[in-house]
């Protein structure tokens, strides 16, 4: 996939992801808000219906009480008015006319005033004079009263009209000037209209008129429907499901408004709280206990679907616009990159033309700066390449000359190494002593460069032999020369009766005074008594001298003698050297080696060391001196392996004390 394709895919993917994320978030947020709003409206409607139902119970009584107070006041005023009129000697007809004017001006609808015998001789309505004492609907004669013709105010909404089309309420008082009854009445049809409008039916009709509520019910504590209403007719029977009715019955009197889903609608249930009326009393009287309101719940789902459709259309439009914009942008941005790619190939092929980047270099953005920098670098690289080609030709000629000189120097070094190796091998003893009491074996394995290590065995007399193992620092001709000086100094001082310490002291003085090279040598010198097996030895910084017992135990002579090794030869004049004595038992072996054996390392730069040498010698129990030496050298070679390094020449000198001939014969 190219960079242009990846850029288009990235940008369009991000745009589409952003549109989808924003649309989804807005859709579900809108749905949640609508759901919350519908639930809130349902709770408010149910709570309003519950509070209205609670208040509708007390409104008729309060209105009746107010009307009764008004009628009593009007009856009292009428009683005083009649008393004043009769005091003024007005005729009954004139008083009746006055009463009629008062009724027409907004006073009581009916006014009846009796004499002391109960006959209503004064009234505002035409007709005969009724006798109050003989009428079953009449009120008391001597105390104030009010009533709805012996009917309760709660029956106003369903009370049929009287014979004359009126529903009256009367109030009466006693006369103020003489015993009589003064009774006034008011038409109750307006009170019935008020009761109906402010009652539960009016509340339900008001809620349904808003079209925000589908249906509303008032239920008692047993779940019976006391009042209901719906936008459309629900048919006969209870429109609430059994589950809805059970939920309404479970509503506690003091609980909050609850909301539940019922089919495709939302149902709100609110308990009705009556002031001064307990739940048991409400249940016993059959008053409404729960207000139930059902509101439509299809709007959130429709809004969610509509939002998702709109988001899908916007996403398709944004995707198409993003693809088009990305194509234009990528084509414009990738043009200088393609020019740079062609320029890179031209630089690699050696045919770069700086004018091909003029169009890209004229841009003011990052690609323009990159093109200018690349053009300058390419021109510098071309010039540098031409300079390097010229220098390469010159360096080739110089290298050829130096190679010839190096070959000549290597040939000279090889010749020097060959000469030094010849000197080294020529100075080694050609034949070691052979006897029935001792067995000797020495070997030199030359390293990559001659290091000047050697061994020597000198017969001092018929009983004593001088054993020498030495290593010289450095390599090549200087090492061979130092080896020659050390060997000569030791042989010069080797006399019967001269100890190893004196021999090393003489060699140190010679090497410090006469050596033209800045080098040194390590040496181990021992005088061996073949009869007693006594070994008097001294060391000049040399390690690797070990005694091998018949049971295979290995003990280094530096530990057995108790004297530390002295300084190497050629380091300091007057350096002291001490001697130590070791007795070799019969069939024990003396093993000497140079530092090349101990310091050879493996691939991890781990030296062979004295511990590995002791282990190898312990495993060579019962072997001849030759086999034992060859086994040690194989162990060193195995330790070095293919990735290790030999530390110079490998020199070993081994001597084994044999059983005397007489003892051997006795043993046979």
**Length reported for the chain:** 668
Contact 266, 292 (CB under 8 A): no
Q: 442: pLDDT confidence band, cut at 50, 70 and 90?
A: very high
* All residues at 6 or more sequence positions from 432 whose CB lies less than 8 Å from its CB, including other chains: 440, 441, 442, 457
Q: What is the C-alpha to C-alpha distance for residues 433 and 441, in angstroms, rounded to an integer?
A: 9
Q: Where do we find the tokens 């200087």?
A: 478
If 0-12 CB within 10 Å is exposed, 13-18 middle and 19+ buried, where does residue 620 land? buried
Q: What is the C-alpha to C-alpha distance for residues 468 and 485, in angstroms, rounded to an integer?
A: 14
Q: What is the C-alpha to C-alpha distance for residues 343 and 358, in angstroms, rounded to an integer?
A: 11
Q: How far is CA 505 from the centre of its chain?
A: 77
Q: What are phi and psi of 110, to 5 degrees?
A: -130, 140
Give the residue, 123 or 165, on which the prediction is more confident: 123
Q: Report the topology of domain 211-298.
A: Beta-Lactamase (3.30.450)
Q: 317: pLDDT confidence band, cut at 50, 70 and 90?
A: confident
Class of the domain covering 59-194? alpha beta
**In this predicted model, what pLDDT tens digit does every residue of 120-161 receive, in sequence order?**
899 888 888 888 764 434 443 344 555 544 333 444 344 443
DSSP strands (E only) in 214-256: 215-219, 225-230
Give the residue, 1 or 399, on which the prediction is more confident: 399
If 0-12 CB within 10 Å is exposed, 13-18 middle and 19+ buried, where does residue 655 land? buried
Q: 178: pLDDT confidence band, cut at 50, 70 and 90?
A: confident
Highest mean pLDDT among 360-374, 421-435, 598-612: 598-612
Range from 87-101, 219-233, 524-538 carrying the lowest mean pLDDT: 219-233
Whether the per-residue pLDDT at 464 is higher than 90: the answer is yes
Give the residue, 623 or 15, on which the prediction is more confident: 623
Alpha helices (H) along 428-565: 476-493, 500-514, 557-561
Highest mean pLDDT among 177-191, 232-246, 440-454, 610-624: 610-624
- Average pLDDT taken over every residue of the chain: 78
Contact 569, 507 (CB under 8 A): yes
Range from 130-134, 280-284, 310-314 carrying the lowest mean pLDDT: 280-284
Quick one: pLDDT at residue 144? Answer: 56
Give the DSSP letter of residue 73.
Answer: H
Q: What is the C-alpha to C-alpha distance for residues 124 and 110, in angstroms, rounded to an integer?
A: 6
- Using DSSP's 3-state secondary structure scheme, residue 612 falls into helix
Highest mean pLDDT among 144-153, 356-365, 456-465: 456-465
How many other C-beta atoms can be found within 10 angstroms of the C-beta atom of residue 318?
A: 17
Quick one: pLDDT at residue 546? Answer: 92
Closest CA to 453 of 430, 486, 431: 486
Quick one: pLDDT at residue 534? Answer: 93
| Superfamily of the domain at 428-667 | PPM-type phosphatase domain (3.60.40.10)
Residue 127 gets the label, from left (phi > 0), alpha (psi -120 to 50) or beta, of left
Please count the CA atoms within 13 angstroms of the CA of 48 that sit on its side-chain side.
Answer: 17
Q: What is the C-alpha to C-alpha distance for residues 54 and 59, in angstroms, rounded to an integer?
A: 9
Q: In the chain, pLDDT over 70 holds for what percent of residues?
A: 82
Q: How far is CA 264 from the centre of its chain?
A: 43
Q: How far is CA 454 from CA 442, 479, 504, 522, in A?
A: 10, 11, 15, 11
Closest CA to 216 of 46, 343, 65: 46
Quick one: pLDDT at residue 1? Answer: 60
Quick one: pLDDT at residue 149? Answer: 43
Q: What is the C-alpha to C-alpha distance for residues 247 and 382, in angstroms, rounded to an integer?
A: 92
Q: How far is CA 18 from CA 24, 311, 320, in A?
A: 10, 11, 14
Whether the per-residue pLDDT at 572 is higher than 80: the answer is yes
- Using DSSP's 3-state secondary structure scheme, residue 541 falls into coil
- Using DSSP's 3-state secondary structure scheme, residue 484 falls into helix
Domain layout of the chain by residue ranges: 59-194, 211-298, 352-426, 428-667
Give the residue, 167 or 159, on which the prediction is more confident: 167
Q: What is the C-alpha to C-alpha distance for residues 617 and 600, in angstroms, rounded to an integer?
A: 17
Q: 459: pLDDT confidence band, cut at 50, 70 and 90?
A: very high
Pairing verdict, β 534-540 and 290-296: unpaired
Please count the CA atoms within 13 angstroms of the CA of 116 that sit on its side-chain side.
Answer: 4
Q: What is the C-alpha to C-alpha distance for residues 545 and 617, in angstroms, rounded to an integer?
A: 12
Quick one: pLDDT at residue 423? Answer: 66
Quick one: pLDDT at residue 28? Answer: 78
Q: 281: pLDDT confidence band, cut at 50, 70 and 90?
A: low
Q: Where do we find the tokens 């050609």?
A: 430
Quick one: pLDDT at residue 424? Answer: 66
- Using DSSP's 3-state secondary structure scheme, residue 108 falls into coil
Quick one: pLDDT at residue 665? Answer: 38
Q: In the chain, pLDDT over 90 holds for what percent of residues?
A: 19
Q: 428-667: same fold as 59-194?
A: no
Give the residue, 92 or 210, on which the prediction is more confident: 92
Q: 194: pLDDT confidence band, cut at 50, 70 and 90?
A: low
Range from 98-112, 418-432, 458-472, 612-626 carrying the lowest mean pLDDT: 418-432
Quick one: pLDDT at residue 242? Answer: 78
Highest mean pLDDT among 333-337, 349-353, 362-366, 583-587: 583-587
Query: What is the pTM for the complete model shown?
Result: 0.42
**In this predicted model, what pLDDT tens digit does every residue of 372-421 receive, in sequence order?**
787 788 777 777 777 887 888 888 888 888 888 888 877 776 776 666 66
**In this predicted model, what pLDDT tens digit does every residue of 16-56 receive, in sequence order?**
788 778 778 877 787 777 778 877 877 787 777 777 777 66
**In this predicted model, what pLDDT tens digit does every residue of 200-209 receive, in sequence order?**
666 777 777 7
């Amino acid at each position: 996939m190219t960079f242009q394709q990846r850029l288009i895919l990235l940008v369009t993917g991000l745009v589409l992801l952003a549109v989808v994320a924003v649309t989804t978030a807005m859709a579900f947020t809108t749905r949640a808000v609508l759901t919350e709003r519908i639930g809130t409206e349902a709770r408010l409607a149910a709570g309003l219906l519950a509070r209205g139902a609670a208040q509708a119970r007390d409104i008729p009584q309060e209105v009746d009480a107010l009307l009764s107070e008004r009628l009593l006041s009007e009856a009292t005023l009428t009683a005083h008015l009649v008393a004043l009129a009769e005091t003024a000697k007005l005729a009954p007809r004139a008083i009746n006319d006055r009463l009629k004017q008062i009724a027409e001006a907004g006073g009581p609808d009916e006014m009846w005033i009796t004499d002391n015998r109960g006959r209503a001789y004064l009234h505002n309505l035409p007709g005969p004079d009724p006798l109050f004492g003989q009428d079953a609907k009449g009120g008391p004669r001597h105390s104030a009263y009010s009533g709805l013709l012996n009917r309760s105010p709660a029956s106003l909404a369903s009370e049929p009209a009287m014979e004359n089309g009126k529903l009256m309420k009367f109030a009466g008082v006693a006369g103020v000037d003489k015993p009589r009854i003064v009774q006034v009445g008011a038409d109750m049809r307006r009170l019935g209209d008020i009761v109906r409008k402010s009652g539960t039916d009016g509340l339900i009709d008001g809620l349904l008129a808003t079209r925000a509520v589908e249906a509303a019910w008032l239920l008692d504590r047993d779940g019976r429907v006391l009042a209901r209403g719906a936008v459309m007719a629900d048919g006969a029977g209870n429109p609430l499901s059994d589950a809805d009715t059970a939920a309404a019955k479970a509503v506690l009197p003091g609980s909050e408004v609850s909301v539940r889903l019922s089919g495709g609608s939302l149902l709100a249930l609110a308990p009705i709280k009556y002031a001064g009326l307990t739940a048991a009393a409400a249940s016993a009287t059959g008053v409404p206990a729960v207000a139930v309101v059902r509101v439509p719940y299809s709007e959130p789902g429709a809004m969610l679907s509509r939002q998702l459709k709109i988001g899908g259309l916007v996403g398709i439009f944004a995707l198409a616009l993003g693809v088009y914009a990305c194509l234009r942008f990528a084509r414009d941005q990738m043009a200088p990159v393609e020019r740079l790619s062609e320029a890179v190939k031209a630089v690699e092929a050696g045919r770069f033309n700086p004018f091909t980047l003029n169009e890209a270099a004229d841009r003011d953005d990052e690609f323009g700066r990159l093109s200018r920098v690349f053009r300058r670098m390419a021109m510098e690289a071309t010039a540098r390449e031409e300079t390097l080609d010229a220098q390469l030709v010159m360096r080739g000629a110089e290298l050829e000359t130096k190679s010839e000189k190096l070959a000549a120097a290597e040939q000279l070094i090889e010749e020097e190494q060959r000469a030094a190796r010849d000197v080294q091998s020529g100075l080694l003893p050609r034949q070691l002593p052979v006897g029935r009491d001792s067995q000797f074996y020495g070997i030199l394995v030359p390293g990559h460069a001659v290091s000047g290590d050697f061994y020597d065995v000198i017969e001092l007399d018929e009983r004593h032999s001088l054993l020498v193992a030495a290593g010289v620092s450095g390599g090549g001709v200087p090492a061979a020369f130092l080896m020659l000086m050390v060997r000569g100094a030791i042989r010069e001082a080797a006399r019967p009766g001269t100890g190893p310490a004196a021999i090393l002291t003489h060699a140190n003085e010679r090497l410090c005074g006469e050596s033209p090279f800045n080098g040194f040598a390590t040496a181990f010198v021992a005088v061996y008594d073949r009869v007693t097996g006594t070994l008097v030895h001294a060391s000049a910084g040399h390690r690797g001298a070990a005694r091998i017992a018949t049971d295979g135990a290995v003990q280094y002579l530096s530990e057995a003698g108790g004297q530390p090794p002295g300084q190497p030869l050629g380091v300091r004049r007057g350096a002291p050297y001490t001697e130590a004595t070791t007795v070799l038992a019969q069939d024990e072996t003396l093993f000497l080696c140079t530092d090349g054996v101990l310091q050879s390392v493996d691939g991890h730069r781990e030296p062979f060391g004295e511990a590995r040498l002791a282990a190898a010698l312990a495993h060579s129990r019962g072997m001849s001196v030759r086999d034992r030496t060859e086994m040690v050298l194989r162990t060193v070679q195995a330790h070095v392996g293919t990735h290790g390094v030999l530390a110079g020449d490998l020199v070993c000198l081994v001597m084994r004390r044999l059983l005397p001939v007489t003892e051997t014969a006795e043993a046979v």
